[in-house]
Amino acid sequence: MTFGTLMITGGTGSFGRAFIAYLLKHDMAEKIVSVSRNAEMRYKLEQDFPDSRLLVVPGDVRHANDLEHCYHEHVDTIVHAAAEKHVVTGEKHTHYINDINVAGARNIVSYATTHHVSTLVALSTDKACAPINAYGKSKAKAEKIVSDGGYTSVRYGNVAGSSGSVIPLFIKQQQTGEITVTDKTMTRFHMPLSPDADVMIYEEPHSKPVISAVELVIYAIRNGIGGEIFVPRIPSSTVGALAMGFPDCVVKEIGIRPGEKMHEDLISAKEARRCWLNHDGMYVILRDAEMTMANGERVPEGFRYTSADNPQLLQLVRS
């Protein structure tokens, strides 16, 4: 199965590059249109992937006109990955993060609706669940915009190896002999970037591979019906346990930063009334509580999926 002509916003970011690489490698799209506002990263993407199926175009999701003019042929599938993800930046510059994450989601849904795009999958985050910071609130609004438009979101935790994630920071800091963590008891969900990522995550003790961000989005493209949020079952751990993967380093606590939680949620108790666990082992948050699923079971009343209740040892494998 191919996805026809697929447009990806934020295609020059960590996820976008991994997603494009995977689609090209497995011949999963007839054409890929990568939209990005960063000229330097667009050039690098073109140099790294010299493939006639890939078209790299300038565009900023904050501006509806950019989306209208960046590509003029029919699009079958959209993956909306463009976002401002930095929590501290969001606390300092709320207007900026809302322009990208909220207005950007509104613009891409409008584009998809106007151009009769059959499938749109937007990337979200655990910080959108019971949000306490500007970034999380902006992504929660984006989820609602996408759902109200009849399209699909995926919500997940930290992606190992992506820009801004903690593991590349630890690898870089390893050279100094000192690793900095906010709080050793803080917990976070983790998953790999793609099946071909440099850093892979396996569940202990059975060493089961954890679904990657790329695989999750492909799953949502294939299985989404519109309006739902797919939430994978992924492991979590304390930040301190993650730092144990670098045994030759001293671990220094620097304190929690503005807008950070000690623990993250992927599903809140409030959302449990419209959440199901399907036969593939994927949580699905439906648009409203009256909706049902034929291929799954509703989660118990008051169910909450939190990193604090899910800590376990993780096996990190770096190539």
**Among residues 31, 85, 127, 141, which one is catalytic?**
127
Q: Does the active-site annotation cover 141?
A: no
- Using alpha carbons, list the distances in angstroms from residue 207 to 62, 170, 305, 316: 42, 22, 22, 10
- Do 288 and 298 form a contact (C-beta atoms < 8 A)? no
Cis peptide before 131 (omega within 30 of 0): no
- Do 159 and 14 form a contact (C-beta atoms < 8 A)? yes
Best CA proximity match to 18, nearest among 111, 26, 281: 26
What residues are annotated to the active site?
Answer: 127
